Structure 1
Amino acid sequence: MYSILLFLHSLGRWAVLGGLLYGMSRAYQGWFGRKPFTPHDNTTRHTVATIAHVQLMLGYALYFVSPLLRDFHLRDAVHEPGTLFFGVQHVAAMTVAIIVLTIGSALAKRQSTSEVQFRTMALWFTAALLLILLAIPWPFSPFASRPYFRLPH
């Protein structure tokens, strides 16, 4: 089960990033182009938030079955940067990022004009993306290096 969750979570990263970039593209184009907020934009807003929530749930499931975190204790993790990253920093930053994204999505849905809807979506999705980019264990990360894709084994 662990390797399947790890594979799905690794794949989900790209779905979240792609969805956020697409959603931000629509939001910035709509905001600066003074376009109407269409049903497609609303579906994009909702779909990006849904994909992010699924990814977060996969991450939580992975957190609880990960051999890396099976015997996690914060006092010991201070000496193990990878364990500290996945045990505290990654899960906390990703949770905050999805909360930010969710708030932005909910606020954008409730705005009265297209311009404010797009602006709200653009700014909150951008903040969420920045948090996500900081918390991903990229291959070049000094905190915890992981490959771009994890295959099930």
Structure 2
Amino acid sequence: MYSVLLVIHSAFRWLVLGSVLYGIYRGGRGYSRRVSFTRFDNSIRHTTATIAHIQLLIGYILYFNSPLVSYFRAHFTEARHQFDLLFFGLIHILLMTLAIVFITVGSSVSKRMDSDREKFKTMTIWFSLALVIILTAIPWPFSPLANRPYIRTF
């Protein structure tokens, strides 16, 4: 089951990135063009937060069942000096949790704004901050922090 969830988590990141990018696009477009915050914009806001929460849930399940993380926690003093272990044992989970908090705050605060322009602005700012964190914390194949393939396979 662990390996199946790892593949799903790896592939699902593209859905998270796509939805966050599209949310930023819709927010920036709506803010700059001064258009109404439609039901479609609201569904993008909500769907982006939902997709991010699903990814975080899968990530937490993986984290608490990962042999890599188990080793990191059991041998913290030695493992913290190995950056790959430090990345997955601490950095990745903290940054991704923070990014999802930003998406959640942006979605929640945006929903409660009075003006359409403020809704777009709030969504754009919070989603953009989350995107920067997400892009930093993903173990890209080219990353010096920790690297994994673009999509894992079985």
Normalising by structure 2, report the TM-score: 0.96
How far apart are residue 76 of structure 1 and its match? 2.0
- Alignment partner, residue 70 of structure 1: 70
1:104 is matched with 106
Alignment root-mean-square deviation, CA: 0.8
Deviations 1:68-88 (A, max 9, x none): 112223312222110100000
Deviations along 1:90-126, one digit per CA (max 9) or x if unpaired, are 0000000000110010000000000000000000000
Counterpart CA distance in 1 for 2:53 and 2:11 is: 14
Q: In the aligned structure 1, how far is the partner of 2:87 from the partner of 2:61?
A: 17
Q: In the TM superposition, what is the alpha-carbon distance from 1:66 to its structure 2 partner?
A: 1.4
Alignment of 1:73-92 (within 5 A): 73=73, 74-92=76-94
**Structure 2 spans left out of the alignment, 5+ residues:** none
C-alpha distance in 1 between matches for 2:82 and 2:20: 32
Q: Which has the higher helix share?
A: 2
Structure 1 segments of 4+ aligned residues over 3 angstroms from their partners: none
Q: Percent identity?
A: 52
Residue 43 of structure 1: CA displacement? 0.4
5+ residue gaps in structure 1?
A: none
For normalisation by structure 1, the TM-score amounts to 0.97
Deviation at 1:12, TM superposition (A): 1.1
Paired residue type of 2:63? Y
